Structure 1
Amino acid sequence: MHAVWNRLTPQRLLAASVTVALATIALKTLAWWLTDSVGLLSDALESVVNLASALFGLWMVTLAARPADDNHPYGHHKAEYFSSGFEGILIIIAALGIVWAAAGRLWAPQPLQRLDWGLALSVLSSVLNGGLAWVMLRASRVHRSLALEADARHLLTDVWTSAGVVVGLALAWVSGWLWLDAAIAIGVALNIGREGAHLLWQSSQGLMDEAVEPEVRAAIDAVLAGFSYQRNGADIVRFDHVYTRKAGQRRYVDLHMHMPAAWTLGRAAALRASVEQALMSAVPGLRASIQLLPSDVEAHFDDLCDLK
């Protein structure tokens, strides 16, 4: 089963997202054309954002997969954060457009037509988006892909949006309260605007070298604890100045390893290699930088956080 998820690469799934976005745009645009519902129009506009986001995300994950080069010696992994940020901006723009389109209808409601067909088409598009989002979300955890997770969560937002539109329009159909159409559209805008702001925040944290996830840090600490030991109450091997960061799918840890000054360089290097191998086994995709220091030597930095 794990091999199946490995074959569902971010590139393949984002390409599938482009195809599904085109299909849902066609379905939702037809639903809007049949009903003249501004609520369904807002739903169709969000699908246009899905298409643009999937295309940009596909470009960014392709760029992120490129190997390191002379100009980018640490690789291109952070490209995925641009995808998440771009998607967040598009979502917010779509939300503002929906509010603009719905405001006039709120004060001057228009009659709705052929809601049965319009709602059926909206439900069908939601089934397509929901199925793809479920697959993408699971695959994003396997590949640790922020671009894939962002697109999956956007699709899930689209599903909930469509569900709200369907329920609201059904109520408007039964009750005759036509103003519900515009009210639903504004509610959709507020909901997707919140999701867009979340994606922007998530992207900014990644670009600012945010620390790894708590469970990843716990795995790193567990490995280091396994290599630390004392003799007669004195530290023989210890670790400090442990700092982590993440860049797209890649995780990094920098640390100092202290050991007796009398040890030979060969013995110290062998232990460091063992620690590095254990860390990479515990956290796939991790890159470790370990500085060797004698037990009685402390490193000092100008950064205030290092002096605490």
Structure 2
Amino acid sequence: MASYRLTRDADLALTTNRTLAIAAASLVAGLVVLGLKFLAWYLTGSIALYSDALESIVNVVTALVALVAVHLAQRPADASLQYGYHKAEYFSAVIVGVMILVAAIAILREAYFGLLSPEVPAAPAQGLLISLGATAINLVWAQVLIRQGRKVLSPALEADGKHLMTDVISTIGVIIGLGLVILTGWAALDAILAALVAINILWSGWSVIRDSVGGLMDVAVPPETGKRIREVIAANAEGAIEAHDVRTRQAGKITFIDFHLVVPGTMTVDAAHAICDAIEAKLREAVSHAQITIHVEPEQKAKHSGIVVL
């Protein structure tokens, strides 16, 4: 068991370092893209490109909040937070969602004034090329964030990646729309595009907040994971009678599992402990970074309504 714990701690440390490195790189990428998008807006004066640049400010704030949250989430449990700081990432994702909503409202305001006084953007070709370069960076980095966020079970990184993908989609729409402005000379389309970007951002912000609130409310693991947990318990509890009241919750990369294990009333504490050790070892193989609590109870006090041990 000691060697297993050392391996588990080493894996967790490696995951932590990787998560922090990705969050830091995300901040750098966000600053580069922000500079490019504001340059595109400066050259053209386009409201649509301005809305795109404004969203990139949110991306930078998002990356900064994610970096702080990921760092905080790695802190070990202490006397005041005895279950650890893992939920810090959910709070950061909520903050990101709120920032997205604020940016969308600001963009809608600019779009409204743009509709009142429409103007055809200047130097559109240069602005579009710069915006395309920024979008390419965002596309690549969004895929990295989503993939790595899921791999290391980081809600903050995944939320950041999903928001970047929304940014990519909205920027592509802006670029296509500005191309139409150039071809048709319809200046009002610039402001309309900005409004559409804002609506898309609003939906993205709501999605991020909704998913984060689920984590804060201790939502259970997905059904397929729950099924796997029950199968592992049933297959690795030889000597026990049944398990019941199996409960799970997710907090960042940590999966909390607790249940009651029914054993014969005459079984020794030593034997019951050995069964618990066997179950815990197999559960940790099946579920990454699992924290497990098992309540052992004698047969005569059991509910007899749980998982039948194989």
Q: When the two structures are superposed, what TM-score results if normalisation uses the length of structure 1? A: 0.90
User: Is the CA contact 2:276–2:294 (under 8 Å) kept in the aligned structure 1?
Assistant: yes
TM-superposition CA deviations, 1:93-115 (whole Å, max 9, x none): 00000000111112321121111
| Aligned counterpart, 2:253 | 249
Matches of residues 1-308 of structure 1 in structure 2 within 5 Å? 9-227=18-236, 237-298=241-302
CA distance in 1, matches of 2:169, 2:301: 57
User: Is the CA contact 1:229–1:238 (under 8 Å) kept in the aligned structure 2?
Assistant: no
Q: CA deviation at 1:7?
A: 8.6
Q: CA deviation at 1:212?
A: 1.3
| Count of residues in correspondence between the two structures | 292
TM-superposition CA deviations, 1:51-83 (whole Å, max 9, x none): 111111101100001111111111111100111
Local SS of the residue matching 1:25: helix
CA distance in 2, matches of 1:140, 1:9: 10
| Aligned counterpart, 1:302 | none
**Which consecutive residues of structure 2, in runs of 5 or more, have no partner in the other structure?**
1-10, 304-310
**Root mean square deviation, CA, Å:** 1.9
2:163 maps to amino acid: H
Local SS of the residue matching 1:9: helix
2:157 maps to amino acid: L
Q: Once superposed, which parts of structure 1, at least 4 consecutive aligned residues long, lie more than 6 Å away?
A: none
Local SS of the residue matching 1:296: helix
Local SS of the residue matching 2:135: helix
TM-superposition CA deviations, 1:213-254 (whole Å, max 9, x none): 233212211201213679xxxxx5211100101111110011
| Aligned counterpart, 1:303 | none
**Which consecutive residues of structure 1, in runs of 5 or more, have no partner in the other structure?**
231-235, 300-308
1:123 maps to amino acid: L
User: Is the CA contact 1:227–1:237 (under 8 Å) kept in the aligned structure 2?
Assistant: no
User: Is the CA contact 2:16–2:74 (under 8 Å) kept in the aligned structure 1?
Assistant: no
1:124 maps to amino acid: G
Q: When the two structures are superposed, what TM-score results if normalisation uses the length of structure 2? A: 0.90
CA distance in 2, matches of 1:132, 1:6: 19
| Aligned counterpart, 2:5 | none
TM-superposition CA deviations, 1:177-202 (whole Å, max 9, x none): 11111111000000011110111111
Q: CA deviation at 1:148?
A: 0.5
Q: CA deviation at 1:265?
A: 1.6
Local SS of the residue matching 1:42: helix
Q: Do the aligned partners of residues 286 and 7 (structure 1) sit closer, same or farther apart at CA in structure 2, a change above 3 Å counting?
A: closer
Q: Do the aligned partners of residues 8 and 116 (structure 1) sit closer, same or farther apart at CA in structure 2, a change above 3 Å counting?
A: farther
Q: Do the aligned partners of residues 242 and 135 (structure 1) sit closer, same or farther apart at CA in structure 2, a change above 3 Å counting?
A: same
Q: CA deviation at 1:295?
A: 2.1
Name whichever of 219-228 and 237-246 sits farther off.
219-228
